[in-house]
Amino acid sequence: METVLNYIKNNFSNYLEELKDYLKIKSISTLDEHKDDMQNCAKFVASKFESAGLENIKIFQTEKHPIVYADWLHQPNKPTILIYGHYDVQPVDPIELWKSNPFEPVIINKKIYARGANDNKGQNFVHIKSVEAFMKTKGTLPVNVKFLFEGEEEVGSTSLTKFIIENKKLLKCDALLISDTSMFAPNTPTITYGLRGLLYMEIEVTAANRDLHSGSFGGAVANPINELAKIISKLHDKNGKVTIPNFYKDVLPISKEEKENFKKLKFSDKNFAKELNVKELYGEKGFSTLERLWVRPTLDCNGIIGGFTEKGAKTVLPAKATAKISMRLVPNQDPKKLAKDFENYVKSISPNWVKVEVKMLHYGYPAMTSIDDPTIKAASNALKKAFKKDPVFTREGGSIPIIVDFMKQLKAPAILMGFGLDTDDIHSPNEHFRLENFEKGLLSSAYFINEMANI
Amino acid sequence: METVLNYIKNNFSNYLEELKDYLKIKSISTLDEHKDDMQNCAKFVASKFESAGLENIKIFQTEKHPIVYADWLHQPNKPTILIYGHYDVQPVDPIELWKSNPFEPVIINKKIYARGANDNKGQNFVHIKSVEAFMKTKGTLPVNVKFLFEGEEEVGSTSLTKFIIENKKLLKCDALLISDTSMFAPNTPTITYGLRGLLYMEIEVTAANRDLHSGSFGGAVANPINELAKIISKLHDKNGKVTIPNFYKDVLPISKEEKENFKKLKFSDKNFAKELNVKELYGEKGFSTLERLWVRPTLDCNGIIGGFTEKGAKTVLPAKATAKISMRLVPNQDPKKLAKDFENYVKSISPNWVKVEVKMLHYGYPAMTSIDDPTIKAASNALKKAFKKDPVFTREGGSIPIIVDFMKQLKAPAILMGFGLDTDDIHSPNEHFRLENFEKGLLSSAYFINEMANI
């Protein structure tokens, strides 16, 4: 192992330069104008697979963005790790709040700033490079590996979901390794065993057939913004509970052990509130912040627009208003069932004087892995060696819906070994990744590959 | 009079071409990028004053957009009419709903389409041309006239308000003539004797200090869109009444006579709803549609924005959300007092977990003129002659706050003689003005000038 680890340390600055090239590609999956960037990014990933010594590299075209596959399968008696990553990134708006160009990576104070620096290019790149380190020093790996990188994680992984079902044999594995979560705190190696699911809806409220003068028509006809606001205000009760019928019906209660575990993590509400610059945290009454984030479902407006939104005053009574609303789900909530409950509820509280349309944009199931799985033990050992510290076990508020599909279809445990921090501003302006965590990630990945040879 | 009227009829197509040139100028007062267009539009107005034979033409620069003045004062024993208009227009968004370029006027089915075609370029142009008709045919006018056109009507008339106070002598008059209202129905000459006032506010709700990942943070910290929606939903009760304390305190009750008058107008709720393509009209319970539009105050959201508003899905928990909210006021509500009541109320219903800022963008008092005034009689005679039909007397839902300032400062009655229709899509895409009403407006203006000589 020593040679592999030394190789990584000696090549760290080269890896960083290569990562910068990866980050320069504007692979925003949700915006049509970046379709070509998505293709270029897939080609870039394939080229990195090749230089790492992987084989059977293939770019699969899909209805949206390509899936990139590669493997190395020369240890028939050893386990196979399937390493998943996504090369697509979130949009960059509000662009005016970025201190540097989101697609011109810069290193400031030992952090690399760029869209995707953390989520997920920086995190998935460590696994390509740890494999490369084995291949360049030893010409072989102690286990079998398969890499599968997609370009639609930020828009619901539609193509990959289909791809997994159709390629179960190609993807067969003993463990799934994903680095797309956060560490609980700086320098705290973390294994995440639970993820929330997602249900993303859109509501459009239409009143009149055209924008109207708010003086000539105000008072006579409904205002779609006022009506949309009323609908949104009815989605929570005064205790912060979601009011959609059956919303909590399938939610697993928190176990005593888990409650204790979370308490041990010594999470400070006060510091958290201070860091976000809010006077008070807010959420469902009766639960701690970590419980609200990890084991309780939530409902948030992600966007709203209607009428005149530029500077100044326009006295318009708009024709329509739209809101994007997403719910984070926990085991065993079913997003497909809840999408219908949501639609029915919203329609039931909509008045006759407006037309209300409800649409599902995407969804993903929540997921959990058993903490007793031998692959989790291997991950624990690897992190301990890389960080020289015992890892903590957490759940995560975010969603990687595709992981559920992997687990369901491939019947393999998922190991969520994240190297990002919650303060890294993913999905926000000035996303960044600490170089220290990039390096620890490289070492952890190498150790994990080594540990997995002995399970 | 015959020669004046014939001159107008013979020159109608020339007037239309000149109006087109006026409409081509992108005089959007609320958008900074149109500052030069505003200057050009003021120069255009001044040039039309000159060719009409007016004197003492002056462009007054202000802190924002110029005021254009001209007069003709050679009838020392006759009354003086002050004719007010505004050359600024509303923004054009949503631009994608326009069937033609808003600044390339086109005539389709005897209507002229362009931003400002009705509000207010088309309507104010008739008075310049009726004066011109007198001057070209008779070389004189039967009364004295003063013209005062401003460029800030759509943004609160701030400069003109100051200008009136500082120039009372220059603007001294016996009657104020304004064509910036609607006719009650097609081919129904209308004198409007009441206007609603306006109070335009903005609410900004801020939660965390940055946009957050809705998975990693959702449930732990307040969502500004959800909170803004809650605030907006609390601005009306279940009967559609505004909940701001004291909101209705100073509202004048509707007189029996007025109630009867409105009933005579045979307004059809059913047709109105059909024309707007809504299943049901909506507003304050206990009042007819005309009452809600003309004599009752209202509150409408004019715009709302927050979070991700493009196509697709972004799982962001936004840092802030903003709404523009305006109230239409009726005699004797006081916008300045209500602005404070609004702010206090919004703050009182805002929770601790968000920061809420309330700002007043602009305001205007409501206004009424006595129906018994001799200038109203002159207007009534003029309209009867131009349309060959008795005029109706109505109030209007819209606001021309500056009229109140004129009335207060100059102590003169205001005659609101509008030639637009409520279906002309003012402030909306595809604003237009019927050529028929443009012509009737020209004739009515000429008749009014003539009638005013005998009061």
What are the residue ranges in chain B where pLDDT is below 70?
A: none
Distance CA B413, CA B374 (A): 9
Amino acid in position B277: N
Structure confidence at residue A408 (pLDDT): 79
B214 touches chain A (CB under 8 A): yes
Task: Say if the Cβ atoms of A229 and B226 lie within 8 Å.
Answer: no
Q: Which residues touch B372 (CB under 8 Å, ≥6 apart)?
A: none
| Terminal Cα distance for chain A, rounded | 17
| Phi, psi (degrees; rounded to nearest 5) at B352 | -65, -25
Q: Interior CA angle at A301 toward A180 and B298, to 5°?
A: 165
B354 touches chain A (CB under 8 A): yes
Q: What is the number of other CB atoms lying within 10 angstroms of the CB of residue A170?
A: 15
Please check whether residue B210 touches A, CB under 8 A: yes
Among A208, A305, A351, whose Cβ lies nearest the Cβ of B309? Answer: A305
Question: Comparing A2-195+366-452 with A197-251+297-364, is the CATH topology the same?
Answer: no
Domain ranges in chain A are: 2-195+366-452, 197-251+297-364
Distance CA B402, CA A170 (A): 75
What pLDDT does residue B369 have?
81
User: Residue A156: its chain B contacts at CB < 8 A?
Assistant: 313
Q: Which residues on adjacent β-strands are paired with residue A177?
A: A83, A415
Q: Which of B447, B358, B344 is nearest to B126 (CA)?
A: B447
pLDDT at A319: 97
Q: Which CATH superfamily includes the segment(s) B2-195+366-452? A: Zn peptidases (3.40.630.10)
- Other CB atoms within a 10 A radius of the CB of residue A200 amount to 25
Contact A321, B304 (CB under 8 A): yes
Its sign, for the CA torsion A402, A404, A410, A413, is positive
A225 close contact with B: CB closer than 8 A: yes
Q: How far apart are CA A45 and CA A52, in angstroms?
A: 11
Q: How do beta strands B80-86 and B144-150 pair?
A: parallel
Pairing of strands B190-195, B106-108: unpaired
**Direct distance between the N- and C-terminal alpha carbons of chain B, in angstroms, rounded to an integer:** 17
Q: Contact A328/B214, CB-based, under 8 Å?
A: yes
Please tell me the predicted confidence (pLDDT) of residue A186: 92
Residue A279 has its nearest CB partner, among B216, B352, B397, at B352
User: CA-CA distance, A376 to A448, in Å (whole number)?
Assistant: 10
Answer for the pair A338, A250: CB distance below 8 angstroms, yes or no. Answer: no
CA dist list (Å): A432 to A14, A95, A101, A112: 19, 15, 12, 5
pLDDT at residue number B399: 78
pLDDT at position B261, please?
78
In the numeric block, which tokens belong to residue A36? 């070509």
The CATH number assigned to the domain with range B198-251+297-364 reads: 3.30.70.360
- Averaged in consecutive runs of 10 residues, what is the pLDDT profile of chain A (455 residues)? 96 97 98 97 98 98 98 97 98 95 98 98 98 98 98 93 96 96 91 91 97 93 98 97 98 86 88 95 96 95 97 94 97 95 98 97 87 90 96 86 86 94 93 97 98 94
DSSP one-letter string for A350-409: --TTSEEEEEEEEEE--EE--TT-HHHHHHHHHHHHHHTS--EEEEESS--HHHHHHHHH
DSSP state string for B192-219: EEEE-EEEEEEEEEE-SSS-EEHHHHBT
Q: Give the ipTM.
A: 0.75
- Tell me how far apart the alpha carbons of residues B445 and A358 are, in angstroms, rounded to a whole number: 52
Distance separating alpha carbons of residues B115 and A19, to the nearest angstrom:
51
C-alpha Rg value of chain A to the nearest Å: 23
Give A73→chain B minimum CA distance, Å.
36
Assigned fold of A197-251+297-364:
Alpha-Beta Plaits (3.30.70)
Distance from A77 to chain B by nearest Cα, in Å?
Answer: 39
Q: CB-hemisphere CA count at 13 Å for B90?
A: 27
Question: Could you say which of A207, A278, A314 has the minimum Cβ distance to residue B221?
Answer: A278
| Model pLDDT, residue A344 | 98
User: Residue type for A37, please?
Assistant: D
Taking the Cβ of residue A235 and every Cβ of chain B, the question of whether any pair is shorter than 8 Å is answered with yes
Question: How many other C-beta atoms are found inside a 10 Å radius of the C-beta of residue A107?
Answer: 14
